[in-house]
């Protein structure tokens, strides 16, 4: 009988086969992954259903009950969204996840002048209790679990939901579901905030207090790493900052006198799932381990308080405009990672979400992806089927270790509220996002159909378009009817009581429920609190130096730098570009990546504040005497806001200022934008260095084409 091979034997054979090449891989998380893991690399994670819940919060997991299939959706009017929900429920969806439009997120009624291009885009417009009633028409709220992605205007939205339930005959005690209510991550990455951090934290505590007393089936907060993931965070950053956010919320609620075990069992989490398959599986296991430790340290006694229960969503940022049917494959891989990691519910993105809102066709494929995984693969037959994998267990332990280091840094700063206020988490995530983009642009991270195996010609796919003008006109009419039919004196008294409660220690959700019963609108309820707290604003401060170091020896990068120098010599100053975020879309990853890269190229970059109107963008562009404006669009407002900006530039006699557009823009809209005067359009997957080269061409410099390594300096 021969001796059993040892790790040394394997290493010798591997060295021979690889001709001595190092097979370890550097991870964006800051550590290396080896080509082989053995029992010596792993440790016993325990059993499912038992502390620290690494292998799952339930002993039976999917063998007892599969994860909940959710579909995050909402668009246009409450009527159209309701019809979409009912079609999906009939086709096998088990829970609702509501997407609100950006006007609603930011606390504006649809008739507000700042939201002309946002109403009904990227979500459903909700201005009144009646809108909420229509949204859930023929959907029984006593049995349907409803998840609502809402943070800024969380008080009026939750109040409308409670009152809509009451008027459907469903008491608050019967309502089940989740409100996101996670404001700290808004200040880090997503930016759909309304009030400053301190009063926003008080709002969260008020909601936890109200729901603990009145809504025992309802999750008062969903602590979200998803938007950090989408903004470019590494797995370690997403873990550390999300768990640290949760810790901050628990401490804040405890400081109001709430017993930790009275509310902690109703907290939930929300993670993004990307394409690093095993890393994402390990991330969910590490999250459960970390949360158990945090809650144990905070003094929780109930085991339920220490269980991390999570919803997951497949990545949006991994989806591509190019060769979009590849997105079905990406979403399937990510969905498998989420389920093998032990998520409690899941939303799968549709193949066209890098281009436009999902169609019924694409949403059906996304939903059926989950049905196939549940019904055809056998994944649900075994509890934690990857338990015992040396690689998975080692990755889990490493993620826990690295996340705890970053969490300790947050604690040293004084907790997440102070850390967020300092800008540290946002800067770290932006650095990771810029580094990721450089790896994609250099094809070090392969994206099939984008930077490798690119199609010679792209085939357009059918997309869904919302008539923003029609939706807004309908919402304005409904608002007018609401205001004319209500008891105005009772409504104003309820709003005044809310303002006074915000000044003192009144529970703002309870007071907002009273105002909703009197038919106060979402904008009015938000304004009643804004009188006390003010409205929070910020201007992005992109990181620099990431691209410069990554492209130090790249010939194409050198050509762009030479081009910028040539334009500077001609103008007598650096070429100036303004990066503008118009409308209420706060997703600024793309804008920040462009600002970072163009700064490193030598452009003078003016980053406009978030939420500008076209008129405000014009004034800033004229004030800074820019040569070009890059308008970043993610929320489908491009057909309204960008043409308006171009018309304003013409009216100011500055049609010479170039306007380019980037973001999620359907190819079908390209001709419309070009006819409006847009001179460059850059969708997802665009190479940032080539964007810089194209901008130089627009500014009159004769740039060599990509792949031509000659230059004026040769």
Residue 112 annotated as catalytic: no
- Considering 161, 210, 226, 551, which one is annotated as catalytic? 226
**Both tokens assigned to 390:** 């040396």
CA dist 278 and 386 (Å) reads 10
Rounded (10°) CA dihedral 633, 537, 113, 654 = -60
Tell me, rounded to whole angstroms, the distance of Cα 45 from its chain centroid. Answer: 31
Strands (E), 34-165: 68-73, 95-98, 146-148
Q: What is the DSSP letter of 607?
A: E
CA dist 427 and 523 (Å) reads 32
Nearest of 67, 144, 63, 150 to residue 104 by alpha carbon: 150
Handedness of CA 581, 587, 590, 595 (dihedral sign): positive
> Hunting for tokens 């992954």 — which residue is that?
33
Q: What is the DSSP letter of 174?
A: G
Provide the H-helix boundaries in 507-637.
508-517, 522-533, 546-550, 555-571, 589-601, 614-624
- Considering 72, 195, 547, 682, which one is annotated as catalytic? 72
Identify whether the C-beta of residue 100 lies closer than 8 Å to the C-beta of residue 73. Answer: no
Residue 259 annotated as catalytic: no
Residue 227 annotated as catalytic: yes
Who's near 682: CB < 8 A, 6+ residues apart? 660, 661, 662, 691, 694
Residue 650 annotated as catalytic: no
- For 185, the enclosing helix (H) or strand (E) is helix 184-185
User: Judging by beta carbons within 10 Å of its beta carbon (0-12, 13-18, 19+), is residue 625 exposed, middle or buried?
Assistant: exposed
CA dist 496 and 503 (Å) reads 11
Nearest of 245, 156, 694 to residue 429 by alpha carbon: 245
CA dist 590 and 537 (Å) reads 19
Identify whether the C-beta of residue 79 lies closer than 8 Å to the C-beta of residue 127. Answer: no
- Considering 121, 229, 247, 587, which one is annotated as catalytic? 587
Q: How is 211-280 classified by DSSP, letter by letter?
A: HHHH-TTEESEEEE-HHHHHHT--HHHHHHHHHHHHHHHHHHHHHTT--HHHHGGGEEEEEEE-S-HHHH
Going across the sheet that includes 604-607, the strands are 604-607, 576-580, 628-633, 658-663, 680-682
Residue 347 annotated as catalytic: no
CA dist 319 and 297 (Å) reads 39
**Both tokens assigned to 109:** 């009624």
- Considering 227, 247, 576, 701, which one is annotated as catalytic? 227
Who's near 201: CB < 8 A, 6+ residues apart? 183, 184, 248, 249, 252, 417
> Hunting for tokens 């740039």 — which residue is that?
703
**Both tokens assigned to 439:** 């790896």
Q: How is 620-685 classified by DSSP, letter by letter?
A: HHHHHT-SEEEEEESSS-HHHHHHHHHHHHHHTT-TTSEEEEEES--GGGHHHHHHHT--EEE-TT
Residue 581 annotated as catalytic: yes
- Considering 229, 398, 581, 701, which one is annotated as catalytic? 581
- Considering 109, 206, 245, 585, which one is annotated as catalytic? 585
Identify whether the C-beta of residue 213 lies closer than 8 Å to the C-beta of residue 409. Answer: no
Could you list the active site residues? 72, 226-227, 581, 585, 587
């Amino acid at each position: 009988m021969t001796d059993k091979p040892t790790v040394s034997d394997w290493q010798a054979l591997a060295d021979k086969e690889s001709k001595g090449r190092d097979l370890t891989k550097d991870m964006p998380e800051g550590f290396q992954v080896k080509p082989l893991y053995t029992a010596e690399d792993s440790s016993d994670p325990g059993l499912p259903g038992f502390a620290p819940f690494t292998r799952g919060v339930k002993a039976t997991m999917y063998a007892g009950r599969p994860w909940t299939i959710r579909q995050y959706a909402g668009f246009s009017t409450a009527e159209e969204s309701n019809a979409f929900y009912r079609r999906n429920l009939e086709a096998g969806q088990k829970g609702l996840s509501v997407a609100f439009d950006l006007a609603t997120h930011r606390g504006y009624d649809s008739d507000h002048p700042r939201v002309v291009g946002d109403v009904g885009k990227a979500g459903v417009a909700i201005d009144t209790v009646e809108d909420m009633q229509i949204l859930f028409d023929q959907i029984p709220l006593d049995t349907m679990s409803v998840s609502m992605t809402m943070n800024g205007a969380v008080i009026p939205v939750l109040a409308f939901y409670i009152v809509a339930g009451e008027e459907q005959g469903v008491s608050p005690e019967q309502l089940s579901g989740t409100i996101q209510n996670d404001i700290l991550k808004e200040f880090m990455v997503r930016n759909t905030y309304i009030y400053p951090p301190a009063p926003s934290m008080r709002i969260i505590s008020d909601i936890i207090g109200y729901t603990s007393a009145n809504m025992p089936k309802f999750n008062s907060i969903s602590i979200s790493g998803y938007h950090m993931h989408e903004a470019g965070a590494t797995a370690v950053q997403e873990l550390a900052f999300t768990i640290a956010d949760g810790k901050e919320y628990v401490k804040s609620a405890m400081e109001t006198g709430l017993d930790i075990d009275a509310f902690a069992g109703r907290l939930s989490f929300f993670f993004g799932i990307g394409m690093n398959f095993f890393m994402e599986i390990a991330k969910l296991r590490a999250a459960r381990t970390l949360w158990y430790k945090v809650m144990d340290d905070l003094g929780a006694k109930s085991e339920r308080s220490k269980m991390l229960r999570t919803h997951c969503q497949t990545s949006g940022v991994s989806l591509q405009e190019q060769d979009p049917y590849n997105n079905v494959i990406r979403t399937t891989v990510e969905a498998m990672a989420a389920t093998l990691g032990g998520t409690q519910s899941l939303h799968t993105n549709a193949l066209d979400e890098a281009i436009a809102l999902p169609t019924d066709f694409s949403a059906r494929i996304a939903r059926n992806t989950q049905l196939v995984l549940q019904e055809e693969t056998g994944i649900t037959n075994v509890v934690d089927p990857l338990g015992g994998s040396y690689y998975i267990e080692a990755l889990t332990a490493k993620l826990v270790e690295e996340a705890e280091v970053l969490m300790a840094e947050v604690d040293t700063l004084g907790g997440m509220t102070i850390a967020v206020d300092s800008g540290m988490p946002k800067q770290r995530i932006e650095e990771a996002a810029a580094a990721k983009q450089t790896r994609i642009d250099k094809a070090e991270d392969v994206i099939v159909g984008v930077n490798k195996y690119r199609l010679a010609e792209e085939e357009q796919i059918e997309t869904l378009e919302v008539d923003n003008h029609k939706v807004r006109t309908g919402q304005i009419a409904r608002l007018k009817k609401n205001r004319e039919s209500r008891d105005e004196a009772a409504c104003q008294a309820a709003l005044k009581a809310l303002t006074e409660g915000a000044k003192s220690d009144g529970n703002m959700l309870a007071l907002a429920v009273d105002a909703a019963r009197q038919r106060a609108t979402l904008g009015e309820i938000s304004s009643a609190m804004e009188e006390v707290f003010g409205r929070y604003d910020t201007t992005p401060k992109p990181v620099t130096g990431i691209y410069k170091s990554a492209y130090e020896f790249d010939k194409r990068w050198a050509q762009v730098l030479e081009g910028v120098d040539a334009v500077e010599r001609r103008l007598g100053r650096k070429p100036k570009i303004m990066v503008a975020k118009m409308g209420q879309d706060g997703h600024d990853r793309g804008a920040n990546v462009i600002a970072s890269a163009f700064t490193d190229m030598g452009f003078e970059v003016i980053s406009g504040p978030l939420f500008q109107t076209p008129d405000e963008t014009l004034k800033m562009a004229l004030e800074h005497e820019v040569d070009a404006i890059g308008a970043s669009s993610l929320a489908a407002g491009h057909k309204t806001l960008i043409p308006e900006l171009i018309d304003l530039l013409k009216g100011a006699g500055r049609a010479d200022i170039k306007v380019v557009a980037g973001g999620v823009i359907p190819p079908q809209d390209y001709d419309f934008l070009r006819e409006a005067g847009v001179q460059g359009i850059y969708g997802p997957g665009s190479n940032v260095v080539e964007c810089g080269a194209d901008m130089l061409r627009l500014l009159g410099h004769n740039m060599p084409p990509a792949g031509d390594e000659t230059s004026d300096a040769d």
